[in-house]
Amino acid sequence: MNQTKKKISRTAQIVGGLLLTLTLGGCFGVNGNFKDVRNNILSKFDSGYSKDIEYGFGSVTMSLAGLFVSFSDDEDAGIASDMLDEISNVQIGIYNRNLSSNNNSNTEMNFKFLKETTDKLIEAGWKSLVRVAEHGNMTAVLIKEDEDNIPENMFVINMADNKLVLVELSGKLGKIIELALKNNGQDLVGNF
C-alpha cells in the first residue's frame, strides 16, 4: 500500500509540474496587440479568413526548444540553441483566405493596404524595416526598440497564396542579431 501511495504521489508531482510549466510559460493564446493587428488586417477583406493556427509560446517553451536543439551534434544547432535562449515569447497566426470560385485571390491585396497596416503599427511605436509588395505577395517586417534603441520585438506580416501569416517575436533580439552576424557574418557578406 505504501508503494501505491508513492507511485500516485510521484505521478501527481509529474502531472502537476507539467501543468505548471504549460501554465506559467508554455503555450497560450496570443496577446492583445497581436489580436489588434490580426483583427485590423482581417476586417479589410470581404472574403474572410479562417484560422488555421494561432498560438503563443512563452519562455519556458522556448528554453525547452533550445535544450532539445542543443542535443544535436550539428554545429549550427548550437548557434540555434543560443538564439532560442534569447527569445522570450513567440506568437504565430496562420489564416487561410476563404475565396469563392469567381473571386481573384489578389484583387484586394495591394501596397496601399500594406502601408496602411504598417502605418498603424508605426503610430504605436514600431519601426518599419521592410515593406515589399509584388506579384500578389506582401511582406512587412517591423521592430520595436527599448529605451537604448536595442530591438526587443519583431513583427512580420506576410500575405501570399491566399494565406496570411503573422509572427511576433519578443526577447533580446539585439543579441540574436549579434549571434547571427558573429556566426554567419562571413557567409552573409560573401552572398552580396
Q: What is the pLDDT of residue 168?
A: 93
Q: What is the pLDDT of residue 40?
A: 82
- CB atoms < 10 A from the CB of 61, how many? 21
Per-residue pLDDT of the chain (192 residues; tens, 9 = 90+): 555 555 455 565 555 554 445 444 455 678 888 888 888 888 776 667 788 889 888 877 777 777 777 777 777 777 777 777 888 888 999 998 876 644 444 445 567 777 888 899 999 999 998 888 887 788 899 999 989 888 899 999 998 878 889 999 998 888 877 777 776 654 544 443
Q: What is the pLDDT of residue 68?
A: 72
Q: What is the pLDDT of residue 105?
A: 45
Rounded to two decimals, the pTM is: 0.72
